[in-house]
Amino acid sequence: MEASKLPGFLLRRGVKAVIVVLAIVVCNFLLVHAAPGDPASVIAGQSGAADAVFLEQLRRQFGLDQPLYVQLWIYLKSVLSLDLGFSHRQQAPVAQLVLERLPATLLLTGAAFAFALAAGVTLGALAAQRVGRWADSVITVIALTFYATPLFWVGLMLVLVFSVWLEWLPSFGMSSVGVEMHGLEVVWDVAQHLLLPALTLGLFYLAVYARLTRATMLEVADQDFVKTARAKGVPEGRILRAHVLRNALLPVITFAGIQAGQLLGGSILVETVFAWPGIGRLAFEALLARDYPVLLGVFFCTSVMVVLFNLLTDLLYAVIDPRVEVAG
């Protein structure tokens, strides 16, 4: 891409991202109002944890005596100033609760994503090289299997095998409780706790990336510039790495961006199974307590993360591939 076009492209994507975030806020607002009953009591939770003062505060926050568009405006203003409401159950602002849990989720989804991408691309490339041979069929079967298996069940089965039967790995939490540790010991401890959840979350995407890499590699391998390279006498290994794989990776990256939301959704299930202290676990606890402000906060936060991640992949894509269409 020409350098002069880049700022315009980023600006357009930025504006689009802002619109999406605004739409999410409106969506949250509508959800609260569409629910049966008074929005204030919905937000406060139905099981009587809210006192009159809190209800009054909520009614003021939403301006429930005002016309709907005024209420929306009040709500927008408070969310955009990062006031996501207050969790009466946990006696803390929602924004603070979410931010506290964010690093754990980022670690889990990041590790799962890195594993899925690395292993998926490798398997996909292997399958593409051996089309129709047994390695190819094995990979197709693995992909089909993980498409059809519920994420949370995979997690439970891994716990059953590696924690209950083999007793190799811890089955819950992010670190050992009641053990004093320093430096690398802490890292090793967290890594042990991370392995099963990251594997669980990553396996499904591994299947997706493997299939995608296989398909795009086969497509690219047929193109003229690969034949040219081969005719020039470029070694086969180099053709694969520099000519085929490089070009085949671009759709995989785009797709990874599209799937960011699903990865975060999946982390709710995985964090529930492994008691991983991230925002997914926070959402599950909020669900049990019917703590709606926290649930809405998690929805807002994950949506914003997806938007940011998409922005990042757009940028990455535009920088990597000079031919990319910048008009969109």
Kindly indicate which of the ranges 79-87, 91-99, 225-233, 279-287 contains the residues binding other proteins, using the contact rule CB under 8 A: 279-287
| Separation between Cα atoms, residue 256 and residue 50, nearest integer Å | 42
| Contact by Cβ (8 Å): 280, 268 | yes
Assess 20 for contact with other proteins (CB under 8 A).
Answer: yes
Kindly indicate which of the ranges 62-70, 173-181, 237-245, 296-304 contains the residues binding other proteins, using the contact rule CB under 8 A: 296-304
Identity of residue 139: I
Classify residue 124 as exposed, middle or buried by CB count within 10 Å of its CB (0-12, 13-18, 19+).
buried
Assess 168 for contact with other proteins (CB under 8 A).
Answer: no
| Separation between Cα atoms, residue 289 and residue 283, nearest integer Å | 10
Among 153, 168, 188, 225, the residue binding other proteins under the rule CB under 8 A is 153
DSSP notation for 93-111 = EHHHHHHHHHHHHHHHHHH
Q: Angle at CA 213, nearest 5°, toward 212 and 216?
A: 85
Name the DSSP letter for residue 37. Answer: S
Assess 177 for contact with other proteins (CB under 8 A).
Answer: no
Kindly indicate which of the ranges 74-82, 115-123, 240-248, 283-291 contains the residues binding other proteins, using the contact rule CB under 8 A: 283-291
Among 142, 287, 311, 326, the residue binding other proteins under the rule CB under 8 A is 287
| Contact by Cβ (8 Å): 167, 76 | no
By beta-carbon proximity to other proteins, the closer residue of 78 and 149 is: 149
| Contact by Cβ (8 Å): 171, 163 | yes
- Nearest approach in angstroms of CB 264 to other proteins is 5
**What token pair was written down for 70?**
């005024």
| Separation between Cα atoms, residue 216 and residue 76, nearest integer Å | 43
Kindly indicate which of the ranges 91-99, 184-192, 299-307, 314-322 contains the residues binding other proteins, using the contact rule CB under 8 A: 299-307
The site that binds other proteins (CB under 8 A) totals a number of residues, namely 49
**What token pair was written down for 280?**
């997914």
Among 95, 307, 314, 318, the residue binding other proteins under the rule CB under 8 A is 307
By beta-carbon proximity to other proteins, the closer residue of 121 and 283 is: 283
What are the residues binding other proteins (CB under 8 A)? 20, 23-24, 27, 31-32, 34-36, 42, 144-145, 147-153, 156-157, 159-160, 164, 258, 261-262, 264-266, 268-269, 272-273, 283-284, 287-288, 290, 292, 295-296, 298-299, 302-303, 306-307, 310
